[in-house]
Structure 1
Amino acid sequence: MSGRNIKKILFTRNFKYPTGGHVTVRDFFLHSLNDSRLDPFIYFTPNSKYEADETWQTIPKEKIVKELVPEDYDLFFVGGKDWRFLPGDFGNKKVINAIQGVRHATEPELRAYLDRPAYRICNSQEVYEAVAPFVNGVAVVISNGVDTTLFNVRGGKKTNSILIWGKKNPELAVRLFEELKRGNVDVQLLVDSLPRKEFARLLHATDIFLTLPAKIEGAHRPPLEGMACRCAVVCSDAIGNRSYCKDGQTCLQPRYGDFDEHLAAIQRLLHDERLKEKIRRHGHEMSQRYGMEEQRRQYYRFLDEYIL
């Protein structure tokens, strides 16, 4: 790519294992790749194990740089603690900073990075409200996008089948799984990461989806993916999921970590078809507001207003 109006932008990642945060940064890289005004590249730290991970398979190999040479770039995209690997002073070059957790306002290292000048993208309104008093520069909200080409309504669902996603709370997930199995309920347990296509395939066939978030999240993508596949979702409050997890409307919300309330929510959906259908319908409608196209549109508007 050449031309004086095209800006080279460098993304930086320290990749150890797949997370929703890495997926979000990947999505913004691909949005940048599809903007004719930008020429994006990505640098992985030397200890990163990214080559075989599916998160990065859609990034052209020629866009992955082996050496970190900040002076070669016009713009920078930084997330989390990746500030560690970049210069402390960017001069007059603009920095886009992805903020994906409310802990950025409280954890000392992350809180300190908010003092650095940057244009910040928060992945939920709750994250924005947590960090806005402390940021040096502009902050906006651009929610995580759901890939509706992958997570959608496809094929038939087995009535009253249940999928438990329990990676972030495996002890509770196992307890719920064992209790439901004792009741001869059709239930599957997932506590490890799966390739995205395989996870989507499970959601396509699942009637009720129980996802267990961390107690506090900047956002929690699985409930939106379940809603997009027209599952009846059960998900407790995690702060960053409040804009789309609406108790009694788009999902049921037992208290965090409460075994009895989680079990009761499942039983309600198993025995109340009208409620289950209401949750499925409203959840699916909500998920359609969070498609990748909408995230891309908001990102380009952000670039127009502040960056380019």
Structure 2
Amino acid sequence: MAGRGRRIYFLTPTFTPVGGVVKIFDYVNHALSLGYEPVVCCPETYKPTMPLFRNERFSGISPENGIRFTDLEKAAVGPFELAFVSWPEHYEIVERRMSRWTLHEQVICIVQNVRWANPKFTGGYALRLLTRPMARIMTNEVVLEAVKPYLNTSSLNEVIPLGHDVGFFHRERSGGLGSPVRVGYTTWKSDVGDRVAGILDGRGFEFRAVRDPVGWDELRDLYHWADVFLATPLAEEGFYMPGLEAMAAGAILLTPDAGGNLAYCRFGENCLEVALDDEKSYVRALEALRRMSLEELERLRQNGYATAARHTLEQEREGFARFMEHLEERLKRAG
């Protein structure tokens, strides 16, 4: 196989299934499929009952299947090993434990967020890391454009479009909205959904929220219930996965411009635009949505389905396979 057993240390701050952590474990699976030996480094202790590992997608990543788990601080990159980091501060851990013969590009950094280019993010440490030599994966073109002015151009820098198990969230539907219109949202990044519900609940709309980070089953239930999903992101996002998941479920998406979500959001085509954290803007969009024709609603929904279908894990794995071929060639030339 392509990996020939080469070890890759995957550093993660937690086993809580938030977006950035889920993507690290997608790459653990990709590495396994390519013949590499992943070692998971985390300050938490592995338990098969954790929500992350209860998901079928990651249940095979376990000590019973030969996957080694170790403490975060024990990640060490020898001359023939690799490290995979996503959190900027994890580079400090790896850097302290690199052998004198380890090449800089043996550290793979996945840049998942436009915040890396913000000098206020991590006190500017993430931005400075962009100038350091290492191998980098950007998860979409929007992230690349944000960080491009700071990238070390002597290093391997490639975009691998973000993949997701969109089929898990899919629900086939057509036609108009319900009566009342069912509106779903989450609250862990913003309370704007609650403010919108305070204005419109009972006026032809019904609202439901997920208030804590939960597993995929609970999120899928929310998307499948909702006619409309309110995206409530932070100002700077790397992708904002709930928006794509809602599209896969056939829910009409209302979303602000949050940076990385423009990798898949096309306002007026597969979603409708609202102003960030502005409940009046969401209210106006919901009232306008209720007046839309069946043809307009179906166009948004079908374009959402088509968008979700372009972001599969299979395509991401193929991109990673090409990236690793390029990296292995570079490491071989460097001796």
TM-score (norm 1): 0.89
2:156 corresponding residue in structure 1: 138
C-alpha displacement at 1:118, in angstroms?
Answer: 1.2
C-alpha displacement at 1:286, in angstroms?
Answer: 0.8
In the alignment, which of 87, 103, 110 is matched to residue 115 of structure 2?
103
Identity of aligned residues (%): 25
Residue 49 and residue 223 in structure 1: after superposition, are their counterparts in 2 closer, same or farther (change >3 A)? Answer: farther
Contact 1:26 1:55 in 2 (8 A): no
1:5-154 alignment, distance < 5 Å: 5-15=4-14, 17-36=16-35, 38-45=36-43, 48=44, 51=47, 52-57=49-54, 58=58, 59-61=61-63, 62-67=66-71, 68-71=74-77, 74-80=81-87, 81-88=89-96, 89=98, 91-92=102-103, 94-105=106-117, 106=119, 107=121, 108-136=124-152, 137-153=155-171
- Give, as a single letter, the amino acid of the residue that structure 2 aligns with 1:60: S
1:76-108 Cα deviation digits (max 9, x unpaired): 101112113223445226111011112212231
SS state at 2:260 partner: coil
- Give, as a single letter, the amino acid of the residue that structure 1 aligns with 2:251: C
C-alpha displacement at 1:112, in angstroms?
Answer: 2.4
SS state at 1:215 partner: coil
Query: How far apart are the structure 1 equivalents of 2:190 and 2:278?
Result: 11
1:268 corresponding residue in structure 2: 288
SS state at 1:218 partner: coil
Residue 271 and residue 223 in structure 1: after superposition, are their counterparts in 2 closer, same or farther (change >3 A)? Answer: same
2:260 corresponding residue in structure 1: 240
Identify unmatched segments of 5+ residues in structure 1: none
1:179-231 Cα deviation digits (max 9, x unpaired): 22131422212232121122112212322111111111121111111111111
Shifted more, 128-137 versus 64-73: the winner is 64-73
- Give, as a single letter, the amino acid of the residue that structure 1 aligns with 2:20: G
Query: How far apart are the structure 2 equivalents of 1:129 and 1:4?
Result: 30
Shifted more, 15-24 versus 210-219: the winner is 15-24
- Give, as a single letter, the amino acid of the residue that structure 1 aligns with 2:10: F
Query: How far apart are the structure 1 equivalents of 2:305 and 2:3?
Result: 44
SS state at 1:186 partner: strand
Query: How far apart are the structure 2 equivalents of 1:265 and 1:49?
Result: 45
Aligned residues: 303
Query: How far apart are the structure 1 equivalents of 2:186 and 2:279?
Result: 15
- Give, as a single letter, the amino acid of the residue that structure 2 aligns with 1:112: R
Contact 2:230 2:253 in 1 (8 A): yes
- Give, as a single letter, the amino acid of the residue that structure 2 aligns with 1:44: C
1:228-281 Cα deviation digits (max 9, x unpaired): 111111111101111211111010011112221111111222221332221111
1:294 corresponding residue in structure 2: 315
Query: How far apart are the structure 2 equivalents of 1:5 and 1:277?
Result: 48
SS state at 2:34 partner: coil
Query: How far apart are the structure 2 equivalents of 1:4 and 1:151?
Result: 31
C-alpha displacement at 1:298, in angstroms?
Answer: 1.1
In the alignment, which of 279, 295, 303 is matched to residue 300 of structure 2?
279
In the alignment, which of 228, 233, 248 is matched to residue 228 of structure 1?
248
SS state at 1:87 partner: helix
1:143-192 Cα deviation digits (max 9, x unpaired): 2222123111258997232212232111x121112222131422212232
Shifted more, 155-164 versus 196-205: the winner is 155-164
2:203 corresponding residue in structure 1: 183
- Give, as a single letter, the amino acid of the residue that structure 2 aligns with 1:199: L
Contact 1:10 1:75 in 2 (8 A): yes
Query: How far apart are the structure 2 equivalents of 1:164 and 1:220?
Result: 13
Query: How far apart are the structure 2 equivalents of 1:122 and 1:128?
Result: 6
TM-score (norm 2): 0.83
Query: How far apart are the structure 2 equivalents of 1:152 and 1:118?
Result: 37
Query: How far apart are the structure 2 equivalents of 1:156 and 1:55?
Result: 32
Query: How far apart are the structure 2 equivalents of 1:53 and 1:212?
Result: 26
SS state at 2:263 partner: coil
2:332 corresponding residue in structure 1: none
Contact 1:219 1:241 in 2 (8 A): yes
- Give, as a single letter, the amino acid of the residue that structure 2 aligns with 1:10: Y
Query: How far apart are the structure 1 equivalents of 2:183 and 2:318?
Result: 34
Contact 1:122 1:142 in 2 (8 A): yes
Residue 77 and residue 35 in structure 1: after superposition, are their counterparts in 2 closer, same or farther (change >3 A)? Answer: same
Residue 64 and residue 54 in structure 1: after superposition, are their counterparts in 2 closer, same or farther (change >3 A)? Answer: farther
- Give, as a single letter, the amino acid of the residue that structure 2 aligns with 1:78: V
